[in-house]
Amino acid sequence: DLSRLETGADELDLQSVDVLPILEAGREHLANRSIQETKALRIEVEAEAHLPTVQADPARLQRILRGLLDNAFNFTPAGGSIWIRARRLEGRVCLEVEDTGTGITPAEQPRVFERFFRGEQALNLGVPGTGLGLSIIAGLVERHGGTIGLESAGIAGQGSRFTVTLPADAAAGG
């Protein structure tokens, strides 16, 4: 995946995409995972009414959101919360995944989108992975003309918020 992303060999199938069904599919994915792994979480979707569509590859957009949600799931303890949000922001659509997990230390935050980077919490909690997930997600967001950011106090229980912004579809009057 990463090599195809870097070479641009993986073509995007751009379409006008309504983000709400993708958010709902993400919520359903987390709910199913919560049941399978017997980890009770509060999962909420909050979407602004009448959001414009975005020009995106629907499968890749779903992959971006699912990757962020899996990350939130992995680092949020049972009884915690995960919010999936969408809102309009200055001609863009802003997607957020926020959790009440372990958080990411300020020292690690600049590196979270680097290839093969695994934070101390991932190692301490035994979270499986290669350290490529967030790097691949960031690359997909950039290929869609978007940006990705992170906010975290680095304090357990205060969690993290990942924000993806994508250009609103011009035809939608974004």
Task: Express each pLDDT in 91-146 by its tens digit.
Answer: 999 999 999 999 999 999 999 999 878 777 766 666 777 778 899 999 999 999 99
Chain-centre distance of CA 13, in angstroms?
Answer: 20
Q: Which helix (H) or strand (E) holds 71?
A: helix 58-75
Enter the tokens of residue 36: 């399978």
Q: pLDDT by residue (tens digit) across 31-79?
A: 999 999 999 999 999 999 999 999 999 999 999 999 999 999 999 999 9
pLDDT tens digits, one per residue of 2-37: 555 554 557 899 999 999 999 999 999 999 999 999
Q: List the domain boundaries for the chain.
A: 12-150+160-169
**In whole angstroms, what is the distance from residue 146 CA to residue 59 CA?**
16
In CATH terms, is domain 12-150+160-169 a member of 3.30.750.24? no
Q: How far is it, in rounded angstroms, from Cα 51 to Cα 29?
A: 22
Mean pLDDT for the stretch of residues 134-161 = 94
DSSP 17-53: E-HHHHHHHHHHHHHHHHHHTT---EEEEEE-TTPPP
Give the pLDDT band (50/70/90) at residue 1. Answer: low
pLDDT-based confidence at 174, cuts 50/70/90? very low
What span, in angstroms and rounded, lies between the C-alpha atoms of 135 and 48? Answer: 28
- Is the pTM of the predicted complex or chain greater than 0.85? yes
Q: In one letter, which amino acid is 67?
A: G
